């Protein structure tokens, strides 16, 4: 059970959700497993995944990933009818799920997928508890990012 901000070494990243940091104030991070079909794992090994528009919902005491796109490979078997945007179940411990339910229902937070990666041969999804940013917060983020970029340019040219 890892609460790191990014996957550590020895893991290969499949997809990142860079938009999540811009749209949400991210809090606790949890690593979850995914229930996948065979063609999905093959497509993930080829890097055919997108989680930018994905989100996690809690339904009937279980966590589900919606909106994630896993594009099927052209070599997919003819008897398999792949659905790229199907709803996928997340595998979490009971205490993790209880904590997520509490924060989402009582405090109004959102569960946001931030990274999809392989860990010891298994596909893992890093999810974070997020609170939505307002427009003025997003403007402040852009302003800070531009200032950091300009500061780096100034330092680089003065030395």
Q: What are the structural domains, with CATH classification, of the chain?
A: 12-133 (2.40.280.10)
What digits encode the pLDDT tens for the residues 78-125? Answer: 677 788 888 999 999 999 998 888 888 877 788 899 999 999 989 999
Q: What is the pTM of this model?
A: 0.74
What digits encode the pLDDT tens for the residues 44-71? Answer: 998 889 988 888 999 998 999 999 999 8
3-state secondary structure 72-136: CCCCCCCCCCCCCCCCEEEECCHHHHHHHHHHHHHHCCEEEEEEEEEECCEEEEEEEEEEECCHH
């Amino acid at each position: 059970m890892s609460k790191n901000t990014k996957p550590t070494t020895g893991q290969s990243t499949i997809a990142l959700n860079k938009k999540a940091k811009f749209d949400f104030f991210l809090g606790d991070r949890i690593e979850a497993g995914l229930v996948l079909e065979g063609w999905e794992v093959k497509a993930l090994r080829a890097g055919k995944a997108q989680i930018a528009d994905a989100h996690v919902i809690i339904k009937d005491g279980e966590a589900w990933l919606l909106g994630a796109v896993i594009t099927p490979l052209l070599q997919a078997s003819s008897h398999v009818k792949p659905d790229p945007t199907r709803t996928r179940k997340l595998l979490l411990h009971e205490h993790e799920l209880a904590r997520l339910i509490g924060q989402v229902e009582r405090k109004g937070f959102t569960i946001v997928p931030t990274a999809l990666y392989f860990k010891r041969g298994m596909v893992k999804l890093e999810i974070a508890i997020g609170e939505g940013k307002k427009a003025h917060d997003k403007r402040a983020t852009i302003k800070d990012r531009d200032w950091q970029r300009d500061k780096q340019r100034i330092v680089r040219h003065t030395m």
